[in-house]
Amino acid sequence: MPEGDTVWRTAKHLDQALTGRVLTRTDFRVPAFATLDLSGQPVNGTIARGKHLLTRIGDDHTLHTHLKMEGSWHLYRPTTSWRRPVHEARVVLHTEEWHAVGFALGITEVIPREDEVDAVGHLGPDLLGPDWDEQEALRRLGADPLRPIGEALLDQRNLAGVGNMYKAELCFLAGVHHDTPVGEVPDLRRMVRRAKQVLEANKERVQQATTGDLRRGKQLWVYARGRQSCLRCGTRIAYDENGGRPAYWCPVCQPLRTDSRP
């Protein structure tokens, strides 16, 4: 699933390409909105809210999309071929200059502008948003001190923007196993600040890194490095499928106390 910085960058590109331009055609390829036509309406902006995208069209409508696991937005010039299969397209927004195509989106809906809060109001403080509130994020994370820190970080109601990759990397950087209860994390504030730091550092670039090294195979400490050597201590990285959301950790750098298991 894309991380918050990827969604932020997607919003930026859509905003730059579409804002201020009039839609010449709209094609919503989901049953609930298949007959909706917003052509002739201007695009007023696109913003990211955690992992959600809100594209405001005209005075009344907002296109709410979410990439989920496989989704992506592409921008094409009108004569350019698409890089993903046509059948994966869920929405196409046409302007004279650009075709914005949302592929395999997990959510595609057009909502009244005043209903945006219903779509994203449940989210916690956005790590890359203007509403970022460190103290509120800490309060929400700490509300359930027995919850595993990995689960708490992924819960977008606590703080918005951390996905599975950053969960693994933040736990490694904090020296804690992802099953460690929130209340036993030595410095939760430092972990939250580091989350903000790494997303800010990566939001403008395609190649994400948490190690400070952009060389191939050196960008990440543990994520997607199962059975490879830990870059810090040399121990083989542990790996668990974890119900389709794989977990990665170093058994030496991130020991789990037996009394910390949930």
φ, ψ of residue 185 to 5 degrees: the values are -70, 125
Query: 118-140 in b/e burial notation, b at 16+ Cβ within 10 A?
Result: ebbeebbbbbbbeebeeeebbeb
Nearest to 89 by CA among 75, 104, 71: 104
SS (H, E, C) 5-55: HHHHHHHHHHHHHHCCCECCEEEECCHHHCCCCCCCCEEEEEEEECCEEEE
CA angle 25, 30, 33 (to 5 degrees): 60
Going by the DSSP 8-state scheme, the letter that residue 4 receives in this structure is H
Sequence letter at residue 58:
G
Nearest to 102 by CA among 71, 133, 136: 71
- Which residues carry out catalysis? 2-3, 51, 245
d(CA 62, CA 28): 13
Q: Report the 10 Å Cβ neighbour count for 215.
A: 9
d(CA 209, CA 166): 10
Whether 162 contacts 150, CB under 8 Å? no
Task: Give residue for tokens 């696991």.
Answer: 69
- Whole-number CA gyration radius for the chain: 20
Task: Give residue for tokens 């090294």.
Answer: 213
